[in-house]
Amino acid sequence: MIIDKLYESVKKNGHVCLGLDTDLSYIPKNFLDKYENIEDAIFNFNKKIIDETLDVVSCYKVQIAYYEAYGLAGLMAYKNTLKYIKSQDAISIADIKRGDIAKTAEMYAKAHFEGDFESDIITLNPYMGMDSIEPYLPYMKEKEKGAFVLLITSNRGAEDIEYIETASGKRVYDEVGEKIYSIGESLRGNSGYSSIGAVVGCTHVDEGIKIRNNFKNMFFLIPGYGAQGGTAKNISLYLREGNGGVVNSSRGILLAYKKKEGGEGKFEVCAREEAINMRDSILEAIHN
């Protein structure tokens, strides 16, 4: 199962999920000028980053919005990036946050679990109801795919809906978590974790600890590290025996070269160093 592969990748390479949220403005000019089109520039920037970090990150998260913004050329770069990740036997998370139902959701599942945009794991938004998750389940059962479902996000507006108290006295995120956990019980791998995990922002520490205690077999995708205020110590509280989650960083790694004199010419090396620093900080927090 894909969740077992991710679990083993965390054991081997650490908890860093490298976000390939690649905007043209992130690409050093001297590298950008080598290419005549957007498609090649973005893909080859991503390829350099991937090649340099394969052994120090657990997976790659590709946020589709950054590619859609550049039209067909951007989507070709998206396709080629996912294909390259697969060719390296690495794990891809397509950050698409789909949340529709019925036949529309079936088509989204087909679009992102097979064909040109195939990925290993996708992100989903459950706030239209659990029937928005159901069309993806056959792929998880039969094709070894996975999903991270939004539970507690790291943005300021998370409290507008996710924290509302329900008639049962629980928060909305509690109710959603219980439903996700129940659906995922039939998709548990040898690692003990389910192929349906949750997005749990590390800027809500108390709630994150509660969710970890309540849902021990739920794997987390954890945003909010670094610029949004999440620390390595926060992250360690979300894990279980040092595993059970990956921590996303995008601009912090992609733009690491801007913090070093002459970094533009070795942006991929700077990305590697930043990923290693992040990995080691999290591991140190876990063991202290």
pLDDT reading at 155 higher than 90: no
Q: What phi and psi, each to the nearest 5 degrees, are found at residue 271?
A: -65, -45
Task: List residues bridging with 50 in a β-sheet.
Answer: none
- Per CATH, which fold does 2-287 belong to? TIM Barrel (3.20.20)
Average pLDDT over residues 74-95: 98
Catalytic residues: 97
- The SS3 call for residue 221 is strand
Query: Rounded to an integer, what distance in angstroms lies between the CA atom of residue 23 and that of residue 70?
Result: 9
pTM of the model: 0.95
Give the confidence band of 105 by pLDDT, cuts at 50, 70, 90.
very high
Whether the per-residue pLDDT at 230 is higher than 80: the answer is: no
Contact assessment for residue 171 and residue 164, using Cβ atoms and an 8 Å cutoff: yes
> By CB neighbour count within 10 A (0-12 exposed, 13-18 middle, 19+ buried), where does 12 fall?
exposed
Residue 229 has pLDDT above 70, yes or no: no
Alpha helices (H) along 221-266: 232-238, 251-254
C-alpha 213/C-alpha 192 separation (Å) is: 15
| pLDDT on residue 228 | 64
Find the Cα–Cα–Cα–Cα dihedral 98, 104, 110, 115, rounded to 10°: -90
255 Cβ contact partners less than 8 Å away, ≥ 6 residues apart: 26
